[in-house]
Chains A and B, each alone.
Chain A
């Protein structure tokens, strides 16, 4: 039947039923699969909100400002852990942002040969792949002993400042902050590098064209143009730092006693969860769920803010 117009009637040629059913069924299946994300999210919210109900009713908002965590007296306040979460992640950010953005600039500018830059870029990305627990192990046995003399000197010289007022005894806030820096550096570097590479070459040429020096162009033209992406990356890193568990848990000392000193053991919400959740029961589980709820709200706020900032800043361009 190669030639001529075939006289079959339209209705006589039909797709087989099974083929039609597969086509429709597939559509339904992917819609259902897409709904799973929503279900999981609601599930998480329900679990955490439901689980924390008892503690919320019992302690109210005082839970956040009270630093007394006493399983024996069944009295719980998570201020120490919340403070630890915020301080550790913000301090880590303070150190990691200049390092990460500086590295990103170094890796996008033509200061060293492209091949070397690419190798360094891959290495930074691989650092992001190293499991947190391995960094924790390294932190306990290599980094912390290596840092201790330095921290002791710091205490001797600056012990009159409340932040360095205790003798370092191993685990504490300072080693936890430094391991967090190692963990979030790759995120900041990778995202800053991507944003810098997306700055149109014409902008750079324009800056050089009016006689700008290399760093004049970077500081005044290129970094501002990449600001939205970099800010987004920094916020993402902040969210990651607040939720980071293993390496911090292994290095922070897990103490529920509040101390201003960065050299003293401290706690974060996530390390408290990691430490106590498995063995807790009754009201303690509920209090931990309450702390988890606080952590979730904090990271959610930071992540939403990150998306908002990226959208806002990129509109201005």
Chain B
């Protein structure tokens, strides 16, 4: 005897529970479509509208003065590359070094907990605050040869932004390296430095490289930390201690201008930027496949 009513084994789509199932599945599918739609539309717009404008001239020339036609975004492309390079040259060594400290040397003491906590907090600091910080630290104090806005300041602001990502990636990647490998190296008389530089870091290369590439890609598209650190320049880059153009700031500045030529250049910049960033993302995915040499 049972106290439950038993239904037929045949599927009855009209049962309330089956109706609910269908409805919820439909809703979830709809949500997914809504979430993916913007991506497709944004990418399509950027690729078609921006891509159709791309010419060799556009990639190699300076932007035109307001009101004039033609011109290009050559200085902004070069500027983005330069500023991102400066940022990477600062953030990657500092970040990987900190990650190595956390994973290989730290003994769970107050300092290492503070560093981990600090990296977490820094990761949550809005990017515009990084800009404010570097403005206060470098731009307004004119520490670099009396220059205020400079490519260097922009690079440092982006480096602050990249730092927590690189630290966390390195820390986590090194923790995945089996302890036995470290013992093996120590067992043949390797010092800490040799164990880390020759065994553990190479073993963790692929995840670290993936994280670093993603961090660089993110930094390359950042605008907020650059608007009042690197500023903008309608000219070719004049060294690291002068204002410099970048694609992201160009998009921001030109998008709100009332001139069609400038708006077209903003779309073209978006195209170049998005293609570069998507390429970096694909590169990161590809790097992630090499788990073991």
Contacts and interface: CB of A to CB of B under 8 A. Distances in A.
Q: Are A and B direct contacts in the complex by CB distance below 8 Å?
A: yes
A106 B114 contact: no
A245 B122 contact: no
B163 interface: yes
Interface in A98-150: 98-100, 102-103, 105-107, 109, 111-112, 120, 122-127, 129-138, 140-142
A47 B128 CA distance: 13
A129 B128 contact: no
Given A36-B98, A98-B31, A246-B252, A215 B132 contact: no
A191 to B, nearest CB: 14
A259 to B, nearest CB: 21
Contacts of A136: 251-252, 255
Interface string B116-151: 001111111111111111011100000000000000
Interface in A72-89: none
A274 B224 contact: yes
Given A213-B18, A303-B120, A137 B255 contact: yes
Contacts of A47: 132-133, 136-137
Contacts of B192: 23, 26-27
A138 B46 contact: yes
A140 B267 CA distance: 12
Interface of A: 15, 19-20, 22-23, 26-27, 29-31, 33-38, 40-41, 43-44, 47-48, 50-51, 98-100, 102-103, 105-107, 109, 111-112, 120, 122-127, 129-138, 140-142, 182, 185, 189, 213-216, 218, 236, 239, 242-246, 249-250, 270, 273-274, 277-278, 288-289, 292, 295-296, 299-300, 302-304, 307
Contacts of A296: 125-126, 129
Contacts of A213: 17-18, 20-21
8 contacts: A31-B111, A40-B122, A40-B133, A109-B28, A141-B263, A213-B18, A289-B136, A303-B124
Contacts of A124: 35-36, 39
Contacts, number: 262
Contacts of A51: 132, 136
The 8 closest A-B pairs by CB, nearest first: A243-B126, A131-B221, A33-B97, A102-B31, A303-B124, A47-B136, A245-B224, A30-B101
A221 B35 CA distance: 25
B210 interface: no
B200 to A, nearest CB: 13
Interface residues of B, number: 92
B70 interface: no
B242 interface: no
Interface of B: 17-18, 20-21, 24-25, 27-32, 34-36, 38-43, 45-46, 93-94, 97-98, 100-102, 104-106, 111-112, 114-115, 118-133, 135-137, 160, 163-164, 167, 191-194, 196-197, 214, 217-218, 220-224, 227-228, 231, 248, 251-252, 255-256, 263, 266-267, 270, 273-274, 277-278, 281, 285
Contacts of A35: 115
Nearest to B194: A23
A193 to B, nearest CB: 11
Given A33-B98, A130-B42, A102 B231 contact: no
Nearest to A39: B118
Contacts of B31: 98-99, 102-103, 106
A278 B224 contact: no
Contacts of B126: 242-245, 270, 295-296, 299
Nearest to A102: B31
A250 B20 contact: no
A118 to B, nearest CB: 12
Interface majority SS (helix, strand, loop, mixed), chain A: helix
Contacts of B124: 236, 239, 243, 299-300, 302-303
B173 to A, nearest CB: 15
A292 B100 CA distance: 33
Nearest to A189: B35
Given A48-B132, A123-B39, A133 B252 contact: yes
A103 B98 contact: no
A243 B125 contact: yes
Contacts of B222: 131-132
Nearest to B93: A33
Contacts of A44: 125, 129-130, 133, 160
Contacts of B131: 273, 277
B39 A307 contact: no
A185 B191 contact: no
Contacts of A141: 255, 263
Contacts of B20: 213, 215
Contacts of B40: 123
A244 B222 CA distance: 11
A182 B93 CA distance: 33
A103 B32 contact: yes
B137 to A, nearest CB: 6
Contacts of B125: 44, 243, 296, 299-300
A131 B277 contact: yes
A90 B282 CA distance: 33
A134 B269 CA distance: 9
B91 to A, nearest CB: 10
Contacts of B17: 213, 216
Nearest to B271: A134
Given A41-B122, A137-B270, A215 B129 contact: no
